Amino acid sequence: MILNFKGPDEGLNASVYAELRKRIVTGFISPDHELSTRSLAGELGVSQTPVRDALSRLSAEGAVSIRSKRRVRVPEMTSERFDDLLRCRLLLEPEAAALAVPHLKPEDVRQLREINTALEEAIKTGDAAAYMQANYDFHFALYRAQPQKTLTQLIETLWLQFGPYMRVLYGRVSNTNLNVSHEAAIKAIEALDADALRAAIASDIADGMGLLGQRDLASTTPR
């Protein structure tokens, strides 16, 4: 992707950061892939300076580990770190979804159904990249509808840390039931049932993360 941004350096830095953040959250950058500022700058059509600045921010958020001035990679995922991320997600995301219920409009529900249709198609075709993007879009359409912006930011940081691993694990677990909780979530929204939505999102997180075995987790860890 070439970033076509014309404006002050601050705006360019933000654009580069947003693009790299998206790649990490959706699992485009895999755990075993080492990144260089030079290659990323070439891909994005920018100098290395905004790339270094973006990677420094992402490192502070726990999304990447800086190995040298010019090379970074996704941090190692231990079983303890994975369990910690799971607990944090289960604490924050169901609550954010429940808080969104009174703020969701009929057009928001239509959007969620459209996203869910795209997600179902990705499951049928085995398109991991499309699935990761649709899954992200579904969850954050909910979370960003609620007014607690700090809560949304905390959740985004969690997704930055587990996204690359979920992309790898996607193809290693049964995906036949990956969409069941999303259907339950939509029905809960239509019924204005915050408790049911809270339960649906918790179930979705557990199905996506908590049911993954330690053996699968270990096999994604860079050596």
Is residue 169 assigned to a domain?
Answer: yes
Is residue 1 assigned to a domain?
Answer: no
Asked if residue 26 and residue 92 are part of one domain, the reply reads no
Phi-psi region of 27 (alpha: psi -120 to 50; beta: other; left: phi over 0): left
Q: If pLDDT is split at 50, 70 and 90, which confidence band does 223 have? A: very low
Q: If pLDDT is split at 50, 70 and 90, which confidence band does 184 have? A: very high
Is residue 4 assigned to a domain?
Answer: no
Query: Tell me, what CATH number does 19's domain have?
Result: 1.10.10.10
Percent of the chain with pLDDT over 70: 83
Span 145-176, pLDDT tens digits: 999 999 999 999 999 988 888 776 666 555 55
Residue 8: pLDDT above 80?
no
For residues 18-45, give the mean pLDDT.
Answer: 86
Asked if residue 186 and residue 162 are part of one domain, the reply reads yes
Asked if residue 173 and residue 67 are part of one domain, the reply reads no
Torsion of CA 210, 214, 216, 218, to 10 degrees: 130
Query: Tell me, what CATH number does 120's domain have?
Result: 1.20.120.530
Q: If pLDDT is split at 50, 70 and 90, which confidence band does 51 have? A: very high
Is residue 27 assigned to a domain?
Answer: yes
Asked if residue 204 and residue 99 are part of one domain, the reply reads yes
Percent of the chain with pLDDT over 90: 47
CA within 13 Å, CB half, 32: 8
Q: If pLDDT is split at 50, 70 and 90, which confidence band does 190 have? A: very high
End-of-domain residue from the set 21, 54, 73: 73
Asked if residue 212 and residue 157 are part of one domain, the reply reads yes
Q: Give the per-residue pLDDT at 74.
A: 85
Span 87-117, pLDDT tens digits: 999 999 999 999 999 999 999 999 999 999 9
Asked if residue 157 and residue 96 are part of one domain, the reply reads yes
Asked if residue 110 and residue 137 are part of one domain, the reply reads yes
Is residue 56 assigned to a domain?
Answer: yes
Residue 207: pLDDT above 70?
yes
Residue 75: pLDDT above 90?
no
End-of-domain residue from the set 73, 96, 111: 73
Q: Give the per-residue pLDDT at 176.
A: 53
The count of structural domains within the chain is 2
Q: If pLDDT is split at 50, 70 and 90, which confidence band does 197 have? A: very high
Asked if residue 201 and residue 118 are part of one domain, the reply reads yes
Asked if residue 106 and residue 55 are part of one domain, the reply reads no
Q: Give the per-residue pLDDT at 220.
A: 54
Torsion of CA 34, 38, 43, 46, to 10 degrees: 140
Q: For tokens 């509808």, what's the residue?
A: 145
Is residue 223 assigned to a domain?
Answer: no
For residues 182-201, give the mean pLDDT.
Answer: 96
Asked if residue 91 and residue 65 are part of one domain, the reply reads no
What domain range includes position 116?
79-218
Q: If pLDDT is split at 50, 70 and 90, which confidence band does 78 have? A: confident
Asked if residue 54 and residue 123 are part of one domain, the reply reads no
End-of-domain residue from the set 56, 73, 90: 73
Residue 68: pLDDT above 70?
yes
Is residue 2 assigned to a domain?
Answer: no
Q: Give the per-residue pLDDT at 10.
A: 58
Q: Specify the amino acid at residue 209.
A: M
Q: From the CB of residue 73, how many other CB atoms can be counted at a distance below 10 Å?
A: 18
